[in-house]
Amino acid sequence: MRGPFARAVAGALGVIVAAAGQVVGASPVAADSVVVGGGPARITDAPWVVALSSRDRFGGTRAGQFCGGVVVAPTKVLTAAHCLGREVLGGEPWQVRDLAVIAGRAELRGEGGQEVRISDAWVNPDYDPTTNSGDLAVLTLANALPGSYVIGVARPGDAAQAPGTPADVYGWGDTSGNGSYASTLRTARVEVLPDAACERAYPQGGGVAYRGDTMLCAGDPRGGKDACQGDSGGPLVAGGRLVGLVSWGSGCGQPENPGVYTRVSAVLPERF
Ligand code: ARG
């Protein structure tokens, strides 16, 4: 069953708009918050962060940004599978004619960097939209980005995913939990949390459940710093490697409800 809770936690920007629901729970979050609780990021420090864009579908005021993505090879970008869902795009990815990534640009209204069309999209066949498990897709770009944009990906057993590791999340999403979307890239420092922290927050049998084999738990144990709506598909970086993709959570920045990320090392097939 998909009640309001499931909708609120599962959705990308488009889903939330379509559902016209309240996206945040009862606890207030800091008003200056990212990505909630963070600060501005320089694209030169994080050249692997890209915005997914369709002005046709999402309008031009924020360059059509609706999700994040990560450059893992000159022509390959990882994002969340749910960002390419029918509820978000209104159809199949190939039907969104102007679907593109914006790379090398922190300011969505600016001119810097480049916009590159997507020529192919591989959605993880094991992605389950009702449980959010396996929330990963690989986009192929029509033109190659500079090799210097590429970030390495954590592979199984990578110590960077161990609980307690500091991690940075990046995005252009909601900075307050109230629908105030950033026009400039932001980042927040969180930490990889033990699976138990998310199992407690999102137990089996209570809406969407956390599972540590395909998901990674991260947040600020004191709350206030987190990803939020519109950040989905964007990177969680620890130890200089990509360990997670923003996937879901209940509210944003609540200490008792950490962020849930796609566990990239477990979900990304080795051939990529
Ligand atoms: N599902 C959201 C999106 O599509 C991401 C939510 C992340 N939430 C969190 N509290 N970390 O943008």
Q: What are phi and psi of 266, to 5 degrees?
A: -90, -30
Q: Is the CB of 230 under 6 A from ligand 1?
A: yes
Q: What are the tens digits of pLDDT across the range 134-149?
A: 999 999 999 999 999 9
16: CA distance to ligand 1 center in Å?
10
Residue 1's pLDDT is 30
- What's the whole-model pTM score? 0.89
CB atoms within 10 A of CB 196: 12
Q: What are the tens digits of pLDDT across the range 187-227?
A: 999 999 999 999 999 999 878 999 999 999 999 999 999 99
Q: How far apart are CA 138 and CA 72, in angstroms?
A: 9
What residues in the chain have per-residue pLDDT under 70? 1-34
Residue 177's pLDDT is 84
Q: What are phi and psi of 196, to 5 degrees?
A: -60, -30
| 251: Cα separation from own chain's centroid | 14
Ligand 1 atom nearest to 257, measured from its CA:
10
For ligand 1, atom 6, which residue shows the shortest CA distance? 248
Looking at the DSSP assignment, which residues form a beta bridge with residue 261?
216, 246
Virtual torsion, Cα 153, 158, 164, 170, nearest 10 deg:
0
Token couple for 146: 């500079």
Q: How far apart are CA 227 and CA 246, in angstroms?
A: 7
113: CA distance to ligand 1 center in Å?
25
Catalytic residues: 82, 135, 232
Q: Is the CB of 246 under 6 A from ligand 1?
A: yes
Q: Is the CB of 135 under 6 A from ligand 1?
A: no
Q: Is the CB of 249 under 6 A from ligand 1?
A: yes
For ligand 1, atom 4, which residue shows the shortest CA distance? 12
